[in-house]
Amino acid sequence: MAFYYNEPSRTFSEYLLLPNLTTKDCTPDKVSLRTPIVRYKAGETSALYLNIPLASAIMQAVSDHRMAIELARSGGISFIYASQPIEDQAEMVRKVKSYKAGFVPSDSNLRPDHTLRDVLALTERTGHSTIAITEDGTANGKLVGIVTSRDYRRGRTPLETKVKDFMTPFSEMVYGQEGITLSEANDLIWEHKLNCLPIIDQHQNLRYLVFRKDYTAHKENPLELLDSQKRLVVGAGINTRDYRERVPALVEAGVDLLCVDSSDGFTEWQYETIQYIKEKYKGEVKVGGGNVVDEEAFLYLAEAGADFIKVGIGGGSICVTREQKGIGRGQATAVIEVAKARDEYYKRTGEYIPLCSDGGIVHDYHMVLALAMGAEFIMLGRYFARFDESPSPKIRRGMNYVKEYWGEGSNKARNWARYDLGGEDQLAFEEGVDSYVPYAGKLKDNLEISLAKIKSTMCNCGALTIPELQAKARLTLVSPLTLREGGAHDVILKKEEELDFS
């Protein structure tokens, strides 16, 4: 007969942390969120760490190269979505790896024979007031001039005036040669009172632009996640269908970490995918597996060679796997059981496998609960989809702005490759929905608030590191009335503006 678990599975909202003694030296500014994310042996260190325990989800609406750059600059990692052509995904990886803090590829470019009308249209579309003028109008063409808002007068300069007649020509420009350091570039900017410094190669082709404002931004990112060559770290999703072609392309592009993107990782297809990567690259290419919700599935992927294992089925805000198929488990229970299995595996084998909690995060404090229960880092979709840096469009709904957010199991994503069902080209039903999330602005501004909450909560638990939190945390189950008591109650709240989707 079927096996029954007598205890119900729990969500993060059913737990609270009990405070431990907070000593005088336990303050948020001393908390370290650095965490390992690939397996390592006892007595050794992990080959890859995060400076903050957050990853953006392998989703079309969340993780492209822009998100990857901004999150890596803040200390986390993005897994660029796999539901796109191989070359497109590899190109996104290349864009992240070629990014140099302060050195920005020009994405507003025109030719000398364009007109002021074209300049105004481009400025309106991009919001950029600095436009590089190249012979062919491309980002890396021969630089012949530059246009800023100081080169023309709206309403006075005729709209049909050619760019070549009002641009600042190359002969009058201050520029830097390729190979210049950011410090040297900024010295030129300050010395010549520039807002922008073009960087060219030996053939006068445009390579980058350095802006005055980016100097400060660079200094504001002390947690940047960099590889041994001082390049940003980036991950990428793969599937169990075309991995023999996709993985080599991603490795050639410079990817740092792979993850098999699957709704259910307890499959022979995923086992074979992980083993293929481990054997082909002699363990040098790191790959995570998942998703799992129990000990048996964890051990299966651990033996396959997974460098980290993702935990969670059906807990995402846009996931309806539990409704459609009755498959899944409460996220808190899943993390607790898999973490216990991981610790026993470590005692038995001497190899520690980091866990990634994927799904079920509604409030910021849920992140601390996931870490306390045994996860090394957390994968988030809805959280990151709200920001400027996500690839989804921002639109107006009623009196508010929202961003589109859709599941990889939705018809919009059409990502059937993540469902390991042995050769089907499509699914007969959806396991994800198409939705909106409230627009929240820039990633950095919101992330700082979330990280401040995490650090403050860890101090309440008497912990300065994630391992210390996992060792010291005390958790208690709560009742529905406890949840009600925990929010504002028995008072008349002042009216707050609510999101209007009408």
Spatial separation of the C-alpha atoms in residues 456 and 470, rounded to whole Å: 15
Closest C-alpha among 23, 26, 68, 54 to residue 391: 68
Please tell me the number of Cα atoms within 13 Å of 287 on its side-chain side: 35
Closest C-alpha among 276, 343, 349, 280 to residue 309: 343
**What residues contact residue 473 under an 8 Å CB cut-off, 6+ apart?**
17, 372, 373, 461, 463
Whose structure tokens read 């940047």? 224
Cis omega (within 30 of 0) for bond into 291: yes
Q: For the sheet containing 168-169, what is the strand order?
A: 109-110, 131-134, 143-147, 168-169
Our answer to whether residue 319 is catalytic in this structure is yes
Our answer to whether residue 348 is catalytic in this structure is no
Residue tagged active-site, from 259, 386, 418, 461: 418
Instruction: Supply φ then ψ for residue 301, to 5 degrees.
Output: -75, -30
Spatial separation of the C-alpha atoms in residues 466 and 351, rounded to whole Å: 18
Burial classification of residue 161, based on how many CB atoms lie within 10 Å of its CB (0-12 exposed, 13-18 middle, 19 or more buried): middle
C-alpha torsion sign, points 352, 58, 102, 444: negative
Extract the runs of DSSP E, i.e. beta strands, from 205-299.
Answer: 206-211, 235-238, 257-260, 287-292
Contact 443, 389 (CB under 8 A): yes
Spatial separation of the C-alpha atoms in residues 399 and 498, rounded to whole Å: 10
- Pairing outcome for strands 176-177 and 168-169: unpaired
Residue tagged active-site, from 196, 259, 319, 356: 319
- Count of helices and strands (H, E) across the chain: 15, 24
Instruction: Supply φ then ψ for residue 329, to 5 degrees.
Output: -165, 150
DSSP one-letter code for 487: S
Contact 199, 106 (CB under 8 A): no
Spatial separation of the C-alpha atoms in residues 361 and 359, rounded to whole Å: 6
Spatial separation of the C-alpha atoms in residues 133 and 113, rounded to whole Å: 10
Q: Mind telling me the catalytic residues?
A: 319, 418
